[in-house]
Structure 1
Amino acid sequence: MKTLVFVYGTLKRGGSNHSWIEKQQFVAEARTAPKYRMYDLGGYPGMVRDDNGLSIEGEVWRVDEAGLAHLDVLEDTDGGEYERVKMELAGEWTAQWTAQCVEGYIYLRSVEGRPEVGVCW
Structure 2
Amino acid sequence: MKLLKHVPAVLLGLLFIAGGVTYFLHVGADQPMPGRAPEFMSLFGGTGYLAVIKVLEIIGGALILFPAHRAKALLILAPIAVNILLFDIYIAGSMGVGIPVVVLVLIQAYLDQDKFKALL
- Shared fold, TM over 0.5: no
TM-score (norm 2): 0.28
TM-score (norm 1): 0.28
Higher helix share: 2
